[in-house]
Amino acid sequence: MWGLLAERSSTKVLLSIEIGVGGVVFLAFFWLLRVGMIGTLGVGTVYMLVGIYGFLFGGIYPLLSIIWAEFFGRTSLGSIQGIVNPFKLTANATGPIFGALCFDFFGSYTVPFLTFSILYFISAAIALSVKTPRPPQLHY
Protein backbone atom coordinates (compact mmCIF):
# COMPACT_ATOMS: atom_id res chain seq x y z
CA MET A 1 0.00 0.00 0.00
CA TRP A 2 2.81 2.42 0.85
CA GLY A 3 4.34 1.85 -2.57
CA LEU A 4 1.05 2.73 -4.25
CA LEU A 5 0.74 5.87 -2.16
CA ALA A 6 4.33 6.82 -3.01
CA GLU A 7 3.52 6.56 -6.73
CA ARG A 8 0.63 9.00 -6.34
CA SER A 9 2.08 11.58 -3.94
CA SER A 10 5.30 13.02 -2.59
CA THR A 11 7.41 10.50 -0.69
CA LYS A 12 8.75 13.27 1.55
CA VAL A 13 5.22 14.27 2.56
CA LEU A 14 4.23 10.63 3.12
CA LEU A 15 7.30 9.97 5.26
CA SER A 16 6.72 13.15 7.25
CA ILE A 17 3.07 12.27 7.88
CA GLU A 18 4.03 8.73 8.80
CA ILE A 19 6.65 9.87 11.31
CA GLY A 20 4.49 12.68 12.73
CA VAL A 21 1.45 10.45 13.23
CA GLY A 22 3.79 7.83 14.73
CA GLY A 23 4.85 10.45 17.28
CA VAL A 24 1.21 11.22 18.10
CA VAL A 25 0.44 7.51 18.52
CA PHE A 26 3.54 7.12 20.70
CA LEU A 27 2.36 10.02 22.92
CA ALA A 28 -1.19 8.63 23.03
CA PHE A 29 0.13 5.24 24.12
CA PHE A 30 2.21 6.90 26.84
CA TRP A 31 -0.76 8.98 27.99
CA LEU A 32 -2.96 5.88 28.06
CA LEU A 33 -0.48 4.08 30.29
CA ARG A 34 0.09 7.17 32.44
CA VAL A 35 -3.61 7.71 33.04
CA GLY A 36 -3.98 4.01 33.76
CA MET A 37 -6.95 3.18 31.57
CA ILE A 38 -7.92 -0.30 32.61
CA GLY A 39 -10.67 -2.52 31.36
CA THR A 40 -12.11 -3.25 27.95
CA LEU A 41 -11.84 0.34 26.69
CA GLY A 42 -8.17 0.57 27.70
CA VAL A 43 -7.20 -2.78 26.21
CA GLY A 44 -9.11 -2.05 23.01
CA THR A 45 -7.43 1.35 22.73
CA VAL A 46 -3.99 -0.22 23.24
CA TYR A 47 -4.68 -2.74 20.45
CA MET A 48 -5.89 0.05 18.18
CA LEU A 49 -2.79 2.19 18.85
CA VAL A 50 -0.46 -0.76 18.35
CA GLY A 51 -2.22 -1.59 15.06
CA ILE A 52 -1.90 2.00 13.82
CA TYR A 53 1.74 2.13 14.87
CA GLY A 54 2.48 -1.18 13.13
CA PHE A 55 0.75 0.03 9.97
CA LEU A 56 2.82 3.22 10.01
CA PHE A 57 6.07 1.44 10.84
CA GLY A 58 5.51 -0.95 7.95
CA GLY A 59 5.77 1.95 5.52
CA ILE A 60 8.96 3.52 6.81
CA TYR A 61 11.45 1.14 5.19
CA PRO A 62 9.86 1.09 1.72
CA LEU A 63 9.57 4.88 1.76
CA LEU A 64 13.17 5.29 2.91
CA SER A 65 14.35 3.07 0.06
CA ILE A 66 12.32 5.11 -2.42
CA ILE A 67 13.66 8.39 -1.02
CA TRP A 68 17.25 7.15 -1.09
CA ALA A 69 16.76 6.09 -4.73
CA GLU A 70 15.29 9.52 -5.55
CA PHE A 71 18.15 11.33 -3.81
CA PHE A 72 21.17 9.24 -4.74
CA GLY A 73 20.06 7.02 -7.63
CA ARG A 74 19.25 3.33 -7.62
CA THR A 75 22.82 2.28 -8.28
CA SER A 76 23.87 3.76 -4.91
CA LEU A 77 21.27 2.04 -2.71
CA GLY A 78 23.62 -0.70 -1.51
CA SER A 79 26.33 1.80 -0.58
CA ILE A 80 23.89 4.14 1.18
CA GLN A 81 22.32 1.32 3.18
CA GLY A 82 25.76 -0.04 4.05
CA ILE A 83 26.73 3.34 5.48
CA VAL A 84 23.42 4.08 7.23
CA ASN A 85 22.56 0.66 8.69
CA PRO A 86 25.24 0.58 11.43
CA PHE A 87 23.99 3.93 12.74
CA LYS A 88 20.35 2.87 12.48
CA LEU A 89 21.00 -0.44 14.25
CA THR A 90 23.02 1.29 16.97
CA ALA A 91 20.21 3.77 17.57
CA ASN A 92 17.67 0.92 17.71
CA ALA A 93 19.83 -0.95 20.22
CA THR A 94 20.46 2.04 22.48
CA GLY A 95 16.78 3.07 22.74
CA PRO A 96 15.78 0.34 25.20
CA ILE A 97 18.99 0.86 27.18
CA PHE A 98 18.23 4.58 27.42
CA GLY A 99 14.70 3.79 28.60
CA ALA A 100 15.94 1.34 31.23
CA LEU A 101 18.55 3.78 32.54
CA CYS A 102 15.96 6.55 32.76
CA PHE A 103 13.66 4.25 34.70
CA ASP A 104 16.52 3.32 37.05
CA PHE A 105 17.46 6.96 37.65
CA PHE A 106 14.04 8.66 37.62
CA GLY A 107 11.66 5.84 38.53
CA SER A 108 9.45 6.31 35.46
CA TYR A 109 9.46 6.13 31.69
CA THR A 110 8.37 9.74 31.26
CA VAL A 111 11.76 11.02 30.10
CA PRO A 112 12.32 8.42 27.36
CA PHE A 113 8.73 8.63 26.09
CA LEU A 114 8.87 12.42 25.86
CA THR A 115 12.38 12.34 24.37
CA PHE A 116 11.38 9.84 21.69
CA SER A 117 8.17 11.78 20.95
CA ILE A 118 10.14 14.99 20.46
CA LEU A 119 12.57 13.11 18.20
CA TYR A 120 9.60 11.85 16.16
CA PHE A 121 8.34 15.40 15.60
CA ILE A 122 11.82 16.75 14.77
CA SER A 123 12.33 13.87 12.33
CA ALA A 124 8.97 14.59 10.67
CA ALA A 125 9.94 18.25 10.20
CA ILE A 126 13.33 17.27 8.78
CA ALA A 127 11.75 14.74 6.40
CA LEU A 128 9.38 17.40 5.12
CA SER A 129 11.99 20.15 4.75
CA VAL A 130 14.85 18.23 3.12
CA LYS A 131 15.46 19.17 -0.48
CA THR A 132 16.25 16.67 -3.22
CA PRO A 133 19.86 17.22 -4.28
CA ARG A 134 20.56 18.16 -7.85
CA PRO A 135 23.24 16.35 -9.82
CA PRO A 136 26.52 18.26 -9.90
CA GLN A 137 27.24 20.42 -12.91
CA LEU A 138 30.13 19.13 -14.95
CA HIS A 139 32.44 21.85 -16.23
CA TYR A 140 34.78 20.96 -19.01
- Is residue 36 included in any domain, yes or no? yes
- Is residue 93 included in any domain, yes or no? yes
Annotate the chain with DSSP letters as a single string: -HHHHHHHS-HHHHHHHHHHHHHHHHHHHHHHHHHT--SHHHHHHHHHHHHHHHHHHHHHHHHHHHHHHHHH-GGGHHHHHHHHHHHHHHHHHHHHHHHHHHHHHHSSSHHHHHHHHHHHHHHHHHHHHPPPPPPPPP--
- Is residue 137 included in any domain, yes or no? no
Report the pLDDT averaged over residues 110-120.
91
Question: Is residue 54 predicted with pLDDT exceeding 70?
Answer: yes
**Residue 138 binned pLDDT confidence (cut-offs 50, 70, 90):** low
Tally of structural domains, the chain: 1
pLDDT digits (tens, 9 = 90+) for 15-31: 999 999 999 998 888 88
**Residue 99 binned pLDDT confidence (cut-offs 50, 70, 90):** very high
- Is residue 138 included in any domain, yes or no? no
- Is residue 136 included in any domain, yes or no? no
**CB atoms closer than 10 angstroms to residue 126:** 13
Domain that holds residue 71: 2-129
- Is residue 90 included in any domain, yes or no? yes
